[in-house]
């Protein structure tokens, strides 16, 4: 089909785009210069949220299947990398916004009531599609987060809570990981033996170390015993599930085992992309945490202890959500169970061949 010629101006809808900055300060005949910057920055955020959601939706669609093509794995990782780069741009926008002083902000702040950044529908959708659960959210102004939105947006957010999220499809993908157990190799059993040998060796090292007095030895023994308890909580599925009920874990035991295997043997060719996928997910989650934290600092810088335009302490909410709203925390906890590369169980030859690029499953 032959399309008619189009100009840059018309293709990007420049007239509509540049007509979206309507200053409330001008409407009340008290123009505030920096309100224009404030609007531009937040409109840019919303455009980036839209792009991020598009990338996440594409990843969920690909991963929400019984088998993922190797080429699609590379595509998913590249789109996650794109999200990371977008997040860098979003962080830089805070630098731009901070060229506005608190006094400049106060010129138009009261005109924004009761609007609040908390009412960003797309950001909440972004969080839900990543896998943030409603019960894990910090309560804002004593009501469920969906109540802050109009009916259509509220309904869309509620529906997104029941749809596959990035967290849920990644969990199912991990649970399907091969290699962990076959006729020639039981990773879990082999890794447990390697860890036990490591603790025996460390016990001997503490015992024979001439530089440690009895008090220091006792202290090191206690630290090692605590480490053994942590590992025992992972080796026992029943203990793991108990910890999961207590909120220590969110992923299933099978998924955690697979993620641990991927991290430990990430140098094997077939595990390169799975490792990069998990790593980029951690990066995205970490970037979100950093972005929230910077917003908290900026809110405190602009408002001090004043109540935010949404009727609550914006900086306190952002600070509280910084840690509480992490999604892939389980992957960050995996490093607790790493052992030196030299102590890893040696993989049998037939499994090593399978982990080459030619494994067909």
- pLDDT value of position 305: 65
Q: Where are the domains of the chain?
A: 24-354
Residue 278 CA to residue 175 CA, distance in Å, equals: 14
Longest C-alpha distance within the chain, in Å?
86
Q: Specify the residue for token string 């869309």.
A: 156
The fold for domain 24-354 equals Methane Monooxygenase Hydroxylase; Chain G, domain 1 (1.20.58)
Contact partners, residue 220, CB within 8 Å, separation at least 6: 206, 212
- pLDDT value of position 180: 67
- pLDDT value of position 345: 85
pLDDT by position in tens, the chain (length 361): 889 999 999 999 999 999 999 999 999 999 999 999 999 999 999 999 999 999 999 999 999 988 888 789 999 999 999 999 999 999 999 999 999 999 999 999 999 988 888 899 999 999 999 999 999 998 877 889 899 899 999 999 999 999 999 999 999 999 988 766 665 677 788 888 888 888 888 889 998 898 889 999 999 888 888 888 888 888 889 989 998 999 989 999 999 999 999 999 998 888 999 999 999 999 999 999 999 999 888 888 888 765 555 445 566 777 777 778 999 999 998 988 888 888 888 888 877 777 776 545 5
Q: Which two tokens stand for residue 329?
A: 């925390």
For residue 358, the tally of other CB atoms under 10 A from its CB is 9
CA quadruple 233, 236, 240, 241: dihedral positive or negative? negative
Task: Give the pLDDT confidence of 55-114 residue by residue, as tens digits.
Answer: 999 999 999 988 888 789 999 999 999 999 999 999 999 999 999 999 999 999 999 988
Q: Select from 327, 346, 174 the least CA-distant residue to 257.
A: 174
For 175-243, give the DSSP string.
HT--SSEETTEEHHHHHHHHHHHHHHHHHHHHHH-TT--HHHHHHHHHHHHHHHHHHHHHH-HHHHHHH
Task: Give the pLDDT confidence of 34-69 residue by residue, as tens digits.
Answer: 999 999 999 999 999 999 999 999 999 999 988 888
Q: Which two tokens stand for residue 29?
A: 């005949």
Q: Are 235 and 188 in contact (CB under 8 A)?
A: yes
- pLDDT value of position 181: 65
End-to-end CA distance of the chain: 42
- pLDDT value of position 129: 98
Q: Are 32 and 105 in contact (CB under 8 A)?
A: no
């Amino acid at each position: 089909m032959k399309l008619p010629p189009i100009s840059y101006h018309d293709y990007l809808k420049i007239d509509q785009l540049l007509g979206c900055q309507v200053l409330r300060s001008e409407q009340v005949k008290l123009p505030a210069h920096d309100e224009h910057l404030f609007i531009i920055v937040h409109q840019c955020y919303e455009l980036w949220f839209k792009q991020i959601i598009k990338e996440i939706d594409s990843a969920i669609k690909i991963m929400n299947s019984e088998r993922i093509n190797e080429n699609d794995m590379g595509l998913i990782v590249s789109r996650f990398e794109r999200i990371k780069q977008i997040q860098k741009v979003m962080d830089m926008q805070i630098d731009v916004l901070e060229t506005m002083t608190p006094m400049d902000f106060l010129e138009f702040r009261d005109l924004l009531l009761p609007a609040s950044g908390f009412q960003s529908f797309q950001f909440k959708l972004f969080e839900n599609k990543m896998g943030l659960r409603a019960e894990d959210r910090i309560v804002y102004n004593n009501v469920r987060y969906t109540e802050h939105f109009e009916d259509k947006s509220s309904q869309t957010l509620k529906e997104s809570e029941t749809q596959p999220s990035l967290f849920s499809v990644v969990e199912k993908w991990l649970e399907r990981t091969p290699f962990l157990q076959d006729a020639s190799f039981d990773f879990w059993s082999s890794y447990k033996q390697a860890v036990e040998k490591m603790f025996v060796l460390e016990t001997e090292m503490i015992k024979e170390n001439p530089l440690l007095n009895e008090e220091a030895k006792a202290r090191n023994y206690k630290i090692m015993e605590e480490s053994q308890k942590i590992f025992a909580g992972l080796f026992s599925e029943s203990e793991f599930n108990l910890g999961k009920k207590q909120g220590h874990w969110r992923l299933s035991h099978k998924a955690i085992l697979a993620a641990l295997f991927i991290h430990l043997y990430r140098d094997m060719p077939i595990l390169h992309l799975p490792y990069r996928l998990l790593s980029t997910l951690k990066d995205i989650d970490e970037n979100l945490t950093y972005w929230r934290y910077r917003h908290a600092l900026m809110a405190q810088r602009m408002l001090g202890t004043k109540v935010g335009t949404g009727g609550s302490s914006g900086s306190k909410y952002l600070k509280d959500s910084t840690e509480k709203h992490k999604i892939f925390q389980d992957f960050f906890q995996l490093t607790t169970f790493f052992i030196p590369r030299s102590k890893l169980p040696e993989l049998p030859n037939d499994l090593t061949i399978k982990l080459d690029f030619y494994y067909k499953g």
